[in-house]
Amino acid sequence: MDLWFTESHTENVRFSVKVDRQLYSEQSDFQRIDIFDSCEFGRILVLDGFLMLTEKDEFIYHEMIAHVPLSVLPKAENVLIIGGGDGGTAREVLRYETVRHVDLVEIDEAVVKACRQFLPQTAASFSDKRLQCHFEDGLKYIRRCENQYDLIIVDSTDPFGPGEGLFTKEFYGNCYKALKPDGIMVNQHESPFYKEDAYAMQRAHKRIYDSFPISRIYQAHIPTYPSGHWLFGFASKKYHPIIDANWKEWKKLGLKTRYYNPKVHAGAFALPNYVEAIINEVE
Run of H or E residues at 25: strand 13-27
Q: What is the distance in angstroms between the CA of the first residue and the CA of the last residue of the chain?
A: 52
SS3 of 51, please? strand
Mention every residue, 6+ apart, whose C-beta is less than 8 A from residue 2. 18
244 is catalytic: no
Closest distance to ligand SAM from the beta carbon of 213 (Å): 26
With contacts defined by CB under 6 A, name the span among 10-18, 163-171, 173-181, 209-217 that binds ligand SAM.
163-171
Q: Residues 15, 40: contact at Cβ < 8 Å?
A: no
Does 188 engage in binding with ligand SAM (CB under 6 A)? yes
Closest distance to ligand SAM from the beta carbon of 79 (Å): 15
Q: Considering only CA atoms, which of 174, 144, 148, 158 is closest in space to residue 235? A: 174
With contacts defined by CB under 6 A, name the span among 14-22, 36-44, 100-108, 174-182 that binds ligand SAM.
100-108
With contacts defined by CB under 6 A, name the span among 157-165, 176-184, 199-207, 267-275 that binds ligand SAM.
157-165
Set 108, 150, 155, 197: catalytic member: 155
With contacts defined by CB under 6 A, name the span among 14-22, 68-76, 92-100, 154-162 that binds ligand SAM.
154-162
Among 44, 76, 111, 119, binds ligand SAM (CB under 6 A): 111
Among 108, 197, 209, 239, binds ligand SAM (CB under 6 A): 108
Which of 86, 150 has the CB closer to ligand SAM?
86
Residues 32-91 binding ligand SAM (CB under 6 A) are 47, 52-53, 61, 82-86
Does 226 engage in binding with ligand SAM (CB under 6 A)? no
Cα dihedral sign, 168-232-149-102: positive
CA dihedral (16, 18, 20, 23) in degrees, to 10, reads -10
Which runs of consecutive H residues, i.e. helices, occur in the chain? 58-72, 88-93, 109-118, 120-123, 138-141, 169-178, 195-211, 247-252, 262-268, 273-280
In whole angstroms, give the CA distance from residue 169 to residue 163. 14
Which of 99, 119 has the CB closer to ligand SAM?
119
Which of 74, 163 has the CB closer to ligand SAM?
163
Query: Strands of 101-105's sheet, edge to edge?
Result: 131-134, 101-105, 78-83, 149-155, 179-188, 229-236, 214-221
Q: Which residues are catalytic?
A: 155
Write out the residues near ligand SAM by the rule CB under 6 A: 47, 52-53, 61, 82-86, 105-108, 111, 137-139, 155-157, 162-163, 165-166, 188
